[in-house]
């Protein structure tokens, strides 16, 4: 079974992230790493491979040169090979451009199963898995807390907008998994060493038959007008409980008309 | 006037509050038409009309319940192709966002997700979003095709604008892809007497400091005294103390109530991303160095098991 796991190299979500002047995510000022939410996708792919399925796992990412770090991190957790799509014309792509590049790279590689995280920690839209499925013409079994691969189908549990549903789609398929799907493993020292020897292929837009104007800022279908830092919240009154902390809080809430 | 399509979020015809917010926002952009998928349109039509839906497009087909997302994509795309709306609004949630993205791809349109406000501009809708764990406020617009926009709950207060809607039944042609993912079973979210997390004006949340599932009764008692929804941090949910549907944070529910009361929650970035746009924030925590106090308009450094019951008692006393 050919498994492709899509991963993203993102600015550290615990740092102070910011924008460049032209409204894109600033990837220079903050250290980047493998998106935490993608670690769950890596983990689930590895668990499928460990469940007795004869699987070949390839990680796929798009990004500048240092996005390779995300691939090496994933390879250190396990898996077989990686594909890095890098082209300066991709910069500024929206979810449509991103999903086009990913879909072409996945088609080129071949796949039975594509595994994604539920969203990136920077863009946070969470729509790329659905767009990938739409482009690839395969089922999107997305937002899963739990999944199982059996008899050529993927079955899972999804917390939808108003109900919890059990869903099933036949392979080939795109799945996305949530941060509740199971804790991701840490790479072992041996894994880190082994990752350095695993094959990593680099592709550009021409390799994928994509014209520059289909992606990047030119191909994007929406534009940011303004990006303003919210004024930081200012700390109000902090009191130590002297035995009447609840009463004091009630007085505050009454003044604010919540009581 | 330009037609604005609004996808209705409902359970068997009971329309959820975020849909009324979408109708309210849609009226700023043009004339709202509700797109109702599934059963229960008769029940829903009155309330949709009360909030300004001039038309209700009804797709009462079993596919909508039997398969995930794609039947809604077929329905919305076909209705949009025939009505040429000026914008399409959907609720932000996994179902709403995935539907929106696929509809936009098919219509060759742009997409904006998780808007917290939508206003009309000469060139079309302008959205406001809260990004990077709610540290930035971004305005944006769609530059291609019919703007497809998903909106978060509580973006605006629903305002009635009663009309009598024209109901149009639609026969949608479902493509082979619509049957791609089968819904094997469906368990609607348990309804409690408390307000829903995304819709509540007050949210009382518990975290690691609550220290046990049974102790969440302390949080629930205060929530009930305030008429609030109950939230929980990821730590409390991961520990199995409270259901995931109540998780507030980056990967759970993002709330923006009038009052957010955090008890026993340290305030990790994961959590802050889900609540820091609340109007008033109150924190109760034993640890005076907890980062949650940096955001708090009022904070009590103390034991939540003493402070919260005393607060409940005082609320009851003040209300006589």
Question: At B19, which CATH number?
Answer: 3.40.50.620
Residue B251's pLDDT band (cuts 50, 70, 90): confident
Confirm or reject contact between A247 and chain B (CB < 8 A): yes
Q: Do B294 and A13 touch (CB under 8 A)?
A: no
Q: Do A259 and B226 touch (CB under 8 A)?
A: yes
Q: Which of B125, B145, B179 is the last residue of a domain?
A: B179
Which residues, numbered 28 to 87 in chain B, qualify as contacts with chain A under a Cβ-Cβ cut-off of 8 Å?
68-70
Task: Note whether residue B281 is domain-resident.
Answer: yes
Report the pLDDT averaged over residues A241-255: 97
Which residues, numbered 284 to 303 in chain B, qualify as contacts with chain A under a Cβ-Cβ cut-off of 8 Å?
284, 288, 293-303
Convert the pLDDT of each residue in A67-125 to its tens digit. 999 999 999 999 999 999 999 999 999 999 999 999 999 999 999 999 999 999 888 89
Task: Note whether residue B11 is domain-resident.
Answer: yes
* Distance separating alpha carbons of residues B308 and B225, to the nearest angstrom: 11
Tell me which residue range forms the domain holding A54.
2-219
- A236 is written with which tokens? 């109000």
Nearest CA in chain A to B314: A247
B251 is in an annotated binding site: yes
Contacts of B96 in chain A (CB under 8 A): 161
Report the pLDDT averaged over residues B261-286: 94
B144 is in an annotated binding site: no
Task: Note whether residue A91 is domain-resident.
Answer: yes
- A150 is written with which tokens? 């059996």
Task: Note whether residue B73 is domain-resident.
Answer: yes
State the pLDDT at residue A29: 76
Tell me which residue range forms the domain holding B42.
3-179
Q: What are phi and psi of B271, to 5 degrees?
A: -75, -45
Cα distances from B242 to residues A83, A239, B196, B210, B230, in angstroms, run: 40, 29, 15, 11, 10
Q: Do A163 and B186 touch (CB under 8 A)?
A: yes
* Whether the predicted pLDDT of B284 surpasses 90: yes
Out of A139, A239, A244, the one facing B181 most closely (by C-beta) is A139
Confirm or reject contact between A194 and chain B (CB < 8 A): no
**Contact indicator for B208, B214 with CB cutoff of 8 Å:** no
Task: Note whether residue B195 is domain-resident.
Answer: no
Q: Which residue of B302, B305, B306, B320 is the best one to mutate when testing the A interface, meaning the one whose CB has the most A CBs within 10 A?
A: B302
SS3 at position A63: coil
Task: Note whether residue A242 is domain-resident.
Answer: no
Convert the pLDDT of each residue in B103-134 to its tens digit. 999 999 999 999 999 999 998 999 999 988 78
Confirm or reject contact between A246 and chain B (CB < 8 A): yes
Confirm or reject contact between A193 and chain B (CB < 8 A): no
Report the pLDDT averaged over residues B285-309: 97
* Distance separating alpha carbons of residues A227 and A245, to the nearest angstrom: 40
Task: Note whether residue B191 is domain-resident.
Answer: no
Task: Note whether residue A149 is domain-resident.
Answer: yes
Q: Which residue of A114, A130, A175 is the best one to mutate when testing the B interface, meaning the one whose CB has the most B CBs within 10 A?
A: A130
* Whether the predicted pLDDT of B96 surpasses 80: yes
Give the mean pLDDT of chain B.
Answer: 95
Confirm or reject contact between A177 and chain B (CB < 8 A): no
* Distance separating alpha carbons of residues B305 and B307, to the nearest angstrom: 6
Q: Do A96 and B284 touch (CB under 8 A)?
A: no
State the pLDDT at residue A212: 97
State the pLDDT at residue A231: 86
* Whether the predicted pLDDT of A214 surpasses 80: yes
* Distance separating alpha carbons of residues B47 and B281, to the nearest angstrom: 33
* Distance separating alpha carbons of residues A99 and A92, to the nearest angstrom: 13
Out of B114, B189, B296, the one facing A162 most closely (by C-beta) is B189
Residue B82's pLDDT band (cuts 50, 70, 90): very high
Contacts of B284 in chain A (CB under 8 A): 245, 249
- CATH classification of the domain holding B274: 3.40.50.1220
Task: Note whether residue B190 is domain-resident.
Answer: no
Q: Work out how many domains chain B is built from and give that number.
A: 2
Report the pLDDT averaged over residues B82-95: 96
B247 is in an annotated binding site: yes
Q: Which of B115, B144, B179 is the last residue of a domain?
A: B179
Residue from B242, B233, B282, B234 nearest B258 by CA: B282
Task: Note whether residue B282 is domain-resident.
Answer: yes
State the pLDDT at residue A40: 97
- CATH classification of the domain holding A30: 3.40.50.620
* Distance separating alpha carbons of residues B159 and A121, to the nearest angstrom: 34
Q: Which of B125, B144, B179 is the last residue of a domain?
A: B179
State the pLDDT at residue A171: 97
* Distance separating alpha carbons of residues A172 and A114, to the nearest angstrom: 8
Q: Do A222 and B142 touch (CB under 8 A)?
A: yes
Which are the contacts of A76, defined by CB distance < 8 A and separation ≥ 6? A187, A188, A191, A192, A194, A195
State the pLDDT at residue B78: 98
State the pLDDT at residue B202: 97
Nearest CA in chain B to A249: B311
B86 is in an annotated binding site: no
* Whether the predicted pLDDT of B163 surpasses 80: yes
Same domain, yes or no: B35 and B127:
yes
Out of A127, A228, A249, the one facing B307 most closely (by C-beta) is A249
Same domain, yes or no: B153 and B10:
yes
Same domain, yes or no: B147 and B237:
no
Same domain, yes or no: B17 and B123:
yes
Q: Is B189 left (phi over 0), alpha (psi -120 to 50) or beta?
A: beta
* Distance separating alpha carbons of residues B214 and A14, to the nearest angstrom: 32
Convert the pLDDT of each residue in A4-53 to its tens digit. 999 999 998 877 888 887 777 787 778 899 999 999 999 999 999 999 89
B233 is in an annotated binding site: yes
Radius of gyration of chain B (CA): 21
State the pLDDT at residue A59: 98
Higher pLDDT, B261 or B155: B261
Q: What percent of chain B has pLDDT over 90?
A: 86
Contacts of A230 in chain B (CB under 8 A): 130, 134-137
Task: Note whether residue A256 is domain-resident.
Answer: no
Same domain, yes or no: B35 and B163:
yes
Convert the pLDDT of each residue in A138-178 to its tens digit. 999 999 999 999 999 999 999 887 789 999 999 999 999 99
Confirm or reject contact between A127 and chain B (CB < 8 A): yes
Q: Work out how many domains chain A is built from and give that number.
A: 1
Report the pLDDT averaged over residues B236-259: 92
Residue B58's pLDDT band (cuts 50, 70, 90): very high
Same domain, yes or no: B160 and B257:
no
Residue bearing tokens 């929650």: B265
* Whether the predicted pLDDT of B239 surpasses 90: yes
Task: Note whether residue B184 is domain-resident.
Answer: no
Same domain, yes or no: B271 and B206:
yes
State the pLDDT at residue B153: 87
- B32 is written with which tokens? 């709202």
* Whether the predicted pLDDT of B154 surpasses 90: no
Q: What are phi and psi of B58, to 5 degrees?
A: -110, 125
Contacts of A228 in chain B (CB under 8 A): 136-138
């Amino acid at each position: 079974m050919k498994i492709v796991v899509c991963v993203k190299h993102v600015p550290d979500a615990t740092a102070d992230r910011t924008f460049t002047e032209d409204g894109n995510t600033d990837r220079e000022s903050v250290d980047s790493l493998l998106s935490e939410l993608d670690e769950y996708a890596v983990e689930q792919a590895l668990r499928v491979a460990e469940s007795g399925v004869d699987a070949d796992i390839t990680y796929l990412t798009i990004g500048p040169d240092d996005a390779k770090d995300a691939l090496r991190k994933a390879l250190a957790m396990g898996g077989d090979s990686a594909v890095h799509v890098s082209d300066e014309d991709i910069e500024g792509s929206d979810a449509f451009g991103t999903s086009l590049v990913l879909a072409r790279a996945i088609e080129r590689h071949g796949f039975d199963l594509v595994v994604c995280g539920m969203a990136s920690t920077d863009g946070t839209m969470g729509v790329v898995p659905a767009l990938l499925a739409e482009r690839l013409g395969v089922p999107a079994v997305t937002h899963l807390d739990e999944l199982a691969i059996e008899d050529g189908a993927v079955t899972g549990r999804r917390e939808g907008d108003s109900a919890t549903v059990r869903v099933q789609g036949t392979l080939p398929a795109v799945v996305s998994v949530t941060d509740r799907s199971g804790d991701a493993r840490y790479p072992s020292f041996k894994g880190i060493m082994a990752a350095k020897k695993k094959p990593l292929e680099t592709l550009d837009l021409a390799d994928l038959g994509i014209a520059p104007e289909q992606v990047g800022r030119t191909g994007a279908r929406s534009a940011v007008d303004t990006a303003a830092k919210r004024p930081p919240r200012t700390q109000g009154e902090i009191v130590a409980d002297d035995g009447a902390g609840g009463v004091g809080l009630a007085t505050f809430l009454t003044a604010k008309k919540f009581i | 006037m330009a037609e604005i399509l609004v996808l209705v979020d409902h359970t068997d015809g009971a329309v959820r509050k975020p849909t009324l917010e979408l109708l309210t926002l849609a009226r700023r952009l043009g004339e709202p038409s509700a797109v109702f998928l599934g059963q229960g349109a008769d029940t829903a039509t009155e309330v949709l009309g009360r909030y300004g839906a001039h038309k209700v497009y009804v797709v009462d087909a079993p596919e909508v319940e039997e398969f995930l997302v794609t039947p809604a994509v077929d329905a919305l795309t076909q209705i949009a192709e025939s009505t040429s709306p000026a914008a399409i609004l959907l609720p932000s949630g996994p179902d709403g966002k995935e539907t929106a993205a696929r509809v936009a791809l098919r219509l060759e349109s742009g997409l904006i997700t998780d808007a917290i406000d939508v206003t009309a501009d000469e060139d079309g809708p302008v959205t406001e979003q809260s990004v990077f764990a709610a540290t930035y406020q971004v305005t944006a617009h769609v530059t291609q095709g019919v703007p497809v926009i998903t909106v978060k709950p509580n973006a605006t207060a629903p305002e009635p604008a009663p009309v009598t809607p024209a109901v149009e039944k639609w026969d949608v042609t479902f493509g082979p892809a619509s049957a791609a993912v089968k819904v094997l079973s469906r368990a609607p979210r348990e309804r409690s007497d408390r307000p829903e997390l995304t819709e509540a004006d007050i949210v009382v949340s518990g975290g690691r400091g609550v220290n046990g599932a049974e102790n969440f009764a302390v949080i629930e008692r205060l929530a009930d005294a305030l008429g609030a929804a109950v939230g929980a941090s990821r730590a409390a949910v991961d520990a199995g103390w409270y259901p995931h549907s109540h998780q507030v944070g980056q990967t759970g529910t993002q709330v923006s109530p009038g009052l957010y009361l955090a008890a026993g929650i340290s305030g990790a970035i994961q959590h802050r991303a889900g609540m820091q746009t609340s109007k008033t924030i109150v924190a109760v925590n034993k640890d005076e160095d907890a980062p949650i106090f940096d955001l708090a308009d009022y904070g009590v450094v103390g034991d939540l098991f003493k402070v919260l019951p005393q607060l409940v008692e005082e609320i009851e006393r003040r209300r006589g």
